[in-house]
Amino acid sequence: MSLFILKIIGIVTMFLDHYHYIIGGSKILNVVGRIAFPIFAFTLSEGYVHTRSLKKYLFRLFIFAVSIQMPSILFGYDYSMNIFLHYFRAFVYLYF
């Protein structure tokens, strides 16, 4: 299975999880949606192995993490960290 197919599966399962969280529906959507995290964590590790510039990869993760976190701070959402901040922290642990 290619990395592209894994990303598509991750996107679909993440959508199902968010659908369950926002609109409602069966609890199975939430359970299926939890598959997205390990898939994207795997793609992060693949990116770590195959990237040409670890510093640029780390910088892009940081920019995405901050840009996604800012609306939650500005609009007062009740979650403290988005998933990109977790991925950024994991990448920092791998890098150093």
Condensed to tens digits (0 to 9), the pLDDT of residues 46-90 reads 989 999 999 999 999 999 988 888 887 888 776 666 888 888 888
**Mean local confidence (pLDDT), 14-40:** 88
Are 17 and 58 in a shared domain? no
Task: Kindly report the backbone phi and psi dihedral angles of residue 5, in degrees, each rounded to the nearest multiple of 5, phi listed first.
Answer: -65, -40
pLDDT for residue 80: 65
Strand ranges for 10-96 from DSSP E: none
Are 35 and 74 in a shared domain? no
pTM as predicted: 0.79
Are 45 and 67 in a shared domain? no
**Mean local confidence (pLDDT), 12-35:** 88
| Residue 4 clears pLDDT 70, i.e. is over it | yes
Task: Kindly report the backbone phi and psi dihedral angles of residue 34, in degrees, each rounded to the nearest multiple of 5, phi listed first.
Answer: -70, -10
Question: Helices H, strands E: what count in the chain?
Answer: 5, 0
Residue 56: domain span: 52-96
pLDDT for residue 36: 92
